[in-house]
Amino acid sequence: MEEQEVVVIASSSSIEAGIGCWDLHSGAEHLRYRSCASPSHGLVSVAGRFLASSQLRDSSSSSSAGSLLFWSWNKPQVEVKSFPAEAINPLVSNSDGTYIVGGGVSGDIYLWEVATGRLLKKWHGHYRAVTCLVFSTDQSLLISGAEDGSVRVWSLLMIFDEERQQRSGHLYEYSFSEHALPVTDIVTGYGGSNAIILSASEDRTCKVWSLARGTLLKNVVFPSAIDAVALDPGEHVFYAGGRDGKIYIAELNSLGKSDNNYGLHTIGTSSDQSKGICSLAFAPDGVQLVAGSEDGLVRIWDTKTHNIIRVLKHAKGPVNNILVIQQPPALYPRTLTNNQGLMTRKQVSLPPPLEKFTSIDENADLSIYITPQPDYHRPCDAIYTTVDSMNKQINELQQHGSSEMEMERSKGDNKRSIQMLHQWKKMYENLHQFCVGELLNGEGDNLTL
Amino acid sequence: MLGMYALTEESDSCRSRARGLTTMAAFDYAQNLYDVVLKPRLLRSLINEHIPEEKQQLGNSLALAHVVYAIRTHELLSERVVQSGDNKKLIEKWKSAVDLWFDRVLMLVSSNMPDKCWAGICLLGVTCEGCSSERFLASYSVWFQKLLSHLQAPAGSNFVKRACCFSISDLLTRLSGFPNMKRDGSSHAAKLLQPVLKLIQEDNSDAEGAVALLCTILTLFPLSIQKNYDSAEAAIVTKLMSGKCHTNMVKKLALCLSLLPKSRGDADSWSLMIQKVLIAINVLLNDSFQGLEEETKTMRALVPPGKDPPTPLGGLPIFDISNKSTKLGRVSMASISSLMLCCSTMLTTSYPAQAKVPAQLLLMLVERVLMVDGSLTQTLYPTITAMQQEHVCLELPVQHSYSLDILCSIVKEAHSQLLPHAALIIRIVREYLRKCELPELRVKLYGLVKLMLLSMGVGLSLYLAEDVVNNTSIDLDSVGDLGGKPRSDSESTQKKRKHEMAFMSLESQAQTNYLPKNPIPIAVKIAALEALETLLTVGGASGSDSWRSSVDSLIITVATYACKGGWTKPTNNDFNHSQNSSSSWADFQLASLRALLASLLSPGRIRPPYLAHGLELYRKGMQETGTKLAEFCAHALMALEVALQKEPESPESEDDDLYDKWVKDNDGNQPSVVEQENNETAPQLAEKPVSIAVSSGAEVIPKNKGKEPMTEIQSVKEVSKQSEIQSQTVNFHVSDNMVTSDPVTKGKTPVSGSVGGMEFKFDLGDKDDDSMDEIPDIVDVEPDSDEE
């Protein structure tokens, strides 16, 4: 299998550090994107096309509203700045990169269309600031957590269907309020309608919810507030990063085999200088766990051996966002062949800034954009047609019974005509003979007369 | 002996010498059929045998097909030889053979006899495909000129011109394979446009070849058409509107029209084109739907007030909305359908720039067409004659079908961008599910539902499940077919399965107008099964309480019924396949078994109740080796094996429901064993601290709204005191204390009551297994009862 290039992207709440970007395997640092002070869960790679991040409120500036920044992969400077109506904490985009959803400090949730920057929907999601947002694996549900401890599941179809909303009375599909303190992180598992939701909170618990039934499945208590969770791809265990600097392993399916030692284990009982774990993310291989910590370091763990593989130095401030994604092509135009390089350069242009207020009215034309497919010509695409058409024609010739029939009929006609002709000829001859005979007889008669 | 040997050898050599120099090659054997030496020889003998010389007549045309087959199979024109000293002679030989081939073919092309000319043109097309690059590049422009002259000949026969179109198309295709020949190709292609457009417009010629050639030009050398954009549009649209094309031709023309904007390649051209098409359709609909629909707002949306309408499609005056005086002549309904096909083709044809799809307008059109069912509007006086109504009704199914196609393409292309429009689409689909009666359209509609479920996921299944279930049950459970009677299902799910399958409640039946006539075609049943399968796959677990058990039983009933009479061999007579083309009983069996697998695998609240019976069906089916069905059965058994090894999941949720019941019935004070026994579902949990959660939860935590689940405590440090655990469980939301417990003791932490609970739950589990064993019996009985 071809090894995919994977990059680790980290941002912190301190503006000097910017956004760091490393190769997961080599640890080599790529570009560092400047001037980013992100809140927790405020950094997102929009379908691998560009980076977006919400910004912590700048206390020095007069405006209370925060901002949203876009970076394209190949430039360190901020390229697009948006100023939403209020400061946005968590930011998330769907896997296609068509929408960006942000959670405001007031508890409102905003949904923008990336292509146009339009604010398509805004709704009151929580009583206090939204802290995290995730999409379900099939992208049809949005799950949000807030400072008031509630976790809510939204059906995006419902959000857009006003008729249905009025009938149902509330917008959300489920609202879980079992967390006593602010929710700090949410992840979802695989499995479509039967997936689980895992939420972490400052109340020292992680809770597992059933998406299918909308109920709490499991409650796990930890010795410390948990700021980050990551779900093992096999969904046997999950990893919880505590404020005490430890990464706890907890079993998800402890039902059958409660006698093994999972649940007691921690990895990352890392040395004393390590401060709280702020963010966790799994590498695509499902083995390497990337942890961002309060001390500004990014540690990569091997979950099989429980060893640290690599430490990346990011900043002084806490690393509160970690993304592990496939290396976007635009990050390295020079490694590509000429042809592809041209293509990516074309695509680099970023979408317009996100709108502050919704401008959608009844007449707004909500178009769909079909993204162009590169007109890449494959040799097997060449379709030759002559042979088919020739065979068709030959078939027609062969099967054309009618022509044969026609010939037979003509032959018959011909024969009949010839016969007729003969008859006429004969008759004519007879007549002729008769006439001649008559005439001769007449003459003879006359002569005799 | 020796002498004899020498003698024979001598005589051999004598003989070969005697055969003489005339047939030198007679014993010059090739190694095998792959030997290159063979190729020039084969080519030469094929030419000599089958390709006539100037004075000869063209032989049987079948021989021509044989020649072409041989040339393509053995690559006789490729001249692909490893360059080396040894095979110089071979190269020479092959070259001269191919030279001969070219001479003969070109001679045929220039022949005066139409049949020889036709043969030459076809062979030239084959040559374009198969000859070596050097040869092609050296002589393609000569060939092109020859072919072009035939195309332009005013008095040429039709079949020669058609063959010419295909050969030129192949020439261009080959040419487009050379990246540095783009400009040459474009300039050549540009020369073709006038004659091709003329051929398309001419009434008597059959334009098949010309349209195909235009497609090729538009695909490969779109830039060549820039200057003739408008005339090309006009030619295509006029042909479409003529109403004289058969379906295949309409499809080709639609493709041409959707490829046309490519020649400009910018986003605006595409949008303009689809806008023009939409206007054209709606103008025609305004006329033909008069008296059959309420007034629509579509036109205003198409051309917003204050904006100039675009030039009419194809420049045809009937589409000019600014010119109010133009009276529509009688336009055939078929041409509306053709234009609708253009819409869906445009959506699915790739475009080099980002295409902006006016989704709202398209959806308005779809809604407009689908909602017309031929009934008159509620006015005092009918505004149309019965004949007009007849006329519209005749073509309506086609238009509905194309509307569904447009919907399908939108769903396919839009992906997540569909969200703002999803509500409207769902409304349209639900409405149409109620109305649609024609089998062919229902099949398409189920296909659309399937597509939507897959693309929009769980969110949609929550929405659409009820409608899908209601409709599929009607289609699958038609009276007379399965012998069941529709009957209220309410709480009778525990009764005989036979009644269960007809689970449609009377109310919901009153809701739906859809009452099909029996018998329902097998194709509809298959489509319905596929829709159900997808529903179970996507949303089998979510919010499925209301329908899951009835769907499961419906599917097992249908599968049992389908497989009752043994396995049907797929019919081998493809020859008279045209009439009952698509679906056979074997397909129905396969579809039912597929749905059954989804029903068994889709995570539900309870152990799949028909597992044993399902396994039996798959085991039997697997023995039918050589059929698709057997393949699938093997796959199903493998998938189920995995499912069998795993303990059924989400038993906890059972407890939630149990708990809900307790709270309702007992105020949460005493867990009632009786309650649990009534619940036939079998929790399989090893540990059940339910009772604790119940009693303590209800008392201590005021916030708890009856949703308190089992609480599991996991800890990190050493156990301090077991006795603390309970209180900490209760107070976990305060959680200042570190809660600690050892996993080994964890199972014991709940007080003894729960151990009791554990026991009786295992009992239940056994019972469930018992009931599992009984199931096949019940089901086996059923077919018999059907026969009565």
B592 in the same domain as B676: no
In a domain, B322, yes or no: yes
**A442 vs B143, more confident:** B143
User: Is residue B338 a contact partner of residue B314, using CB atoms and an 8 Å limit?
Assistant: no
**Chain B within 8 Å of A254 (Cβ-Cβ)?**
yes
> Cβ of B735 and A385 within 8 Å?
no
Q: Which residues of A touch B742 (CB under 8 A)?
A: 264
- Report residue B260: phi and psi, to 5°: -55, -45
Mean pLDDT for back-to-back runs of 10 residues, chain A (449 residues): 73 85 88 88 91 79 73 88 91 92 94 90 93 91 94 91 82 91 93 85 91 86 89 86 85 52 46 73 90 89 85 86 87 49 54 82 69 63 83 80 64 88 92 89 66
Out of A99, A177, A389, closest to residue B416 by CB: A99
**Chain A within 8 Å of B173 (Cβ-Cβ)?**
yes
* Average pLDDT for B548-570: 84
> Cβ of A205 and B421 within 8 Å?
no
In a domain, B760, yes or no: yes
Among A347, A374, A403, the domain-final residue is A347
User: Is residue A52 a contact partner of residue A72, using CB atoms and an 8 Å limit?
Assistant: no
> Cβ of A370 and B653 within 8 Å?
no
At position B395, the amino acid (one-letter code) is E
d(CA A54, CA A46): 13
In a domain, A360, yes or no: no
A4: DSSP letter:
P
**Chain A within 8 Å of B662 (Cβ-Cβ)?**
no
* Average pLDDT for B21-47: 79
> Cβ of A219 and B176 within 8 Å?
no
Report the pLDDT value the prediction gives residue B517, as an integer from 0 to 100.
66
- Number of structural domains in chain A: 2
In a domain, B441, yes or no: no
**Chain B within 8 Å of A259 (Cβ-Cβ)?**
yes
> Cβ of A368 and B463 within 8 Å?
no
Report the residue of B542, B605, B739 to disrupt the A interface, i.e. the one with the largest count of A CBs within 10 Å: B542
Q: Which has the closest alpha carbon to A205: A172, A235, A238, A233?
A: A238
d(CA B723, CA B727): 8
**B708 vs A45, more confident:** A45
A393 in the same domain as A339: no
Residue B555 predicted with pLDDT over 60 = yes
**Chain A within 8 Å of B227 (Cβ-Cβ)?**
no
**Chain B within 8 Å of A211 (Cβ-Cβ)?**
yes
Report the pLDDT value the prediction gives residue B677, as an integer from 0 to 100.
38
Out of A212, A367, A372, closest to residue B542 by CB: A212
d(CA A220, CA A202): 13
B271 in the same domain as B175: no
State yes or no: cis peptide before B519, omega within 30 of 0.
Answer: yes
A408 in the same domain as A338: no
**A347 vs B85, more confident:** B85
Q: Which residues of B touch A381 (CB under 8 A)?
A: none
Residues 696-715 of B with CB under 8 A from A: 703, 707-715
A204: DSSP letter:
S
**Residue B324, C-beta contacts closer than 8 angstroms, at least 6 positions apart:** none
Locate A232 and state its tokens. Answer: 């093992």
Report the residue of A385, A392, A398, A403 to disrupt the B interface, i.e. the one with the largest count of B CBs within 10 Å: A385
B671 in the same domain as B761: yes
Sheet holding A288-293, edge to edge: A277-282, A288-293, A297-302, A307-313
In a domain, B640, yes or no: no
**Chain B within 8 Å of A422 (Cβ-Cβ)?**
no
At position B15, the amino acid (one-letter code) is R
A410 in the same domain as A289: no
**A253 vs B149, more confident:** B149
Among A331, A347, A363, the domain-final residue is A347
Cβ atoms within 10 Å, residue A184: 26
A273 in the same domain as A198: yes
Q: Could you list the residue range(s) of the whole structural domain that residue B2 is in?
A: 1-27
A139 in the same domain as A38: yes
Q: Which residues of B touch A141 (CB under 8 A)?
A: 457-459
A438 in the same domain as A292: no
The residue of chain B nearest to residue A224, with distances taken between CA atoms, is B738
Residues 234-293 of B with CB under 8 A from A: none
Out of A194, A246, A366, closest to residue B603 by CB: A194
Residue B765 predicted with pLDDT over 60 = no
d(CA B450, CA B444): 10
Q: Give start and end residues of each alpha helix (H) in B385-479.
A: 386-414, 419-435, 439-476
Among B247, B263, B279, the domain-final residue is B263
- Report residue A79: phi and psi, to 5°: -105, -35
Give pLDDT tens digits for B619-662.
999 888 888 899 999 999 999 887 776 544 444 444 444 444 44
> Cβ of B541 and A212 within 8 Å?
yes
Q: What is the CATH number of the domain that holds A288?
A: 2.130.10.10
Out of A160, A266, A370, closest to residue B419 by CB: A160
In a domain, A354, yes or no: no
B23 in the same domain as B57: no
Let me know the angle formed at the C-alpha of B242 by B236 and B247, rounded to the nearest 5 degrees.
80
**Chain B within 8 Å of A213 (Cβ-Cβ)?**
yes
* Average pLDDT for B282-288: 85
**A198 vs B297, more confident:** A198
Report the pLDDT value the prediction gives residue A244, as an integer from 0 to 100.
84
Locate A37 and state its tokens. Answer: 């002070």
Report the pLDDT value the prediction gives residue B709, as an integer from 0 to 100.
43
**Chain B within 8 Å of A385 (Cβ-Cβ)?**
yes
In a domain, A96, yes or no: yes
B737 in the same domain as B761: yes
B259 in the same domain as B168: yes
- Chain B: closest CA distance from residue A181 (Å): 8
Task: Annotate B410-437 with DSSP letters as a single string.
Answer: HHHHHGGGGHHHHHHHHHHHHHHHHH--
Let me know the angle formed at the C-alpha of A18 by A17 and A24, rounded to the nearest 5 degrees.
95
B397 in the same domain as B302: yes
> Cβ of A365 and B360 within 8 Å?
yes
The residue of chain B nearest to residue A174, with distances taken between CA atoms, is B543
> Cβ of B417 and A369 within 8 Å?
yes
Report the residue of A92, A201, A205, A213 to disrupt the B interface, i.e. the one with the largest count of B CBs within 10 Å: A213
Is residue B380 very low, low, confident or very high in pLDDT (cuts 50, 70, 90)?
low
Among A288, A323, A347, the domain-final residue is A347
d(CA B265, CA B223): 9
**3 state DSSP class of B19:** helix
d(CA B493, CA B470): 16
- Report residue A175: phi and psi, to 5°: -135, 120
**3 state DSSP class of A369:** strand
d(CA B294, CA B301): 16
**Chain A within 8 Å of B133 (Cβ-Cβ)?**
no
In a domain, A356, yes or no: no
Residue B713 predicted with pLDDT over 70 = no
Q: Which residues of A touch B652 (CB under 8 A)?
A: 210, 215, 217-218
**3 state DSSP class of A207:** strand
A419 in the same domain as A306: no
d(CA B778, CA B556): 12
**Chain B within 8 Å of A126 (Cβ-Cβ)?**
no
B505 in the same domain as B424: no
**Chain B within 8 Å of A243 (Cβ-Cβ)?**
no
Locate B488 and state its tokens. Answer: 């209220």
Give pLDDT tens digits for B561-580.
888 877 766 555 544 444 44
Q: Which residue has the tokens 């689980």?
A: A196
**Chain B within 8 Å of A389 (Cβ-Cβ)?**
yes
In a domain, A123, yes or no: yes
Burial of B396 (0-12, 13-18, 19+ CB in 10 A): buried
Report the pLDDT value the prediction gives residue B719, as an integer from 0 to 100.
34
> Cβ of B68 and A387 within 8 Å?
yes
CA distances from A447 to A133, A440, A443, B346 (A): 135, 10, 6, 100
**Chain B within 8 Å of A205 (Cβ-Cβ)?**
yes
- Number of structural domains in chain B: 5
**Chain A within 8 Å of B354 (Cβ-Cβ)?**
yes
B193 in the same domain as B146: yes
In a domain, B457, yes or no: no
In a domain, A365, yes or no: no
- Chain A: closest CA distance from residue B583 (Å): 27
A200 in the same domain as A293: yes
Among B205, B237, B263, the domain-final residue is B263
In a domain, B454, yes or no: no
B117 in the same domain as B33: yes
B604 in the same domain as B703: no
- Chain A: closest CA distance from residue B95 (Å): 24
Give pLDDT tens digits for B658-701.
444 444 444 434 333 333 333 344 344 333 333 333 333 333 33
Q: Which residues of B touch A119 (CB under 8 A)?
A: none
> Cβ of B62 and A211 within 8 Å?
no
In a domain, A367, yes or no: no
> Cβ of B709 and A211 within 8 Å?
no
Sign of the CA dihedral B300, B303, B307, B308? negative
d(CA B541, CA B557): 21
**Chain A within 8 Å of B112 (Cβ-Cβ)?**
no
In a domain, B575, yes or no: no
Report the residue of A100, A139, A140, A371 to disrupt the B interface, i.e. the one with the largest count of B CBs within 10 Å: A140
Q: Which residues of B touch A139 (CB under 8 A)?
A: 416, 457
Is residue B585 very low, low, confident or very high in pLDDT (cuts 50, 70, 90)?
confident
> Cβ of A368 and B413 within 8 Å?
yes
Q: Could you list the residue range(s) of the whole structural domain that residue A394 is in?
A: 387-448
In a domain, A370, yes or no: no
Mean pLDDT taken over chain B: 74
d(CA B612, CA B593): 14
A185 in the same domain as A56: yes
* Average pLDDT for B319-325: 68
Which helix H or strand E contains A407, and what residues bound it? Answer: helix A401-448
Q: What is the CATH number of the domain that holds B193?
A: 1.25.10.10
**B375 vs B425, more confident:** B425
B425 in the same domain as B305: yes
A64 in the same domain as A171: yes
In a domain, B443, yes or no: no
Residue contacts between A and B (CB atoms, under 8 Å): 289
The rounded Cα B653 to chain-centroid distance in angstroms is 37
Q: Which residues of A touch B733 (CB under 8 A)?
A: 178-180, 203, 205
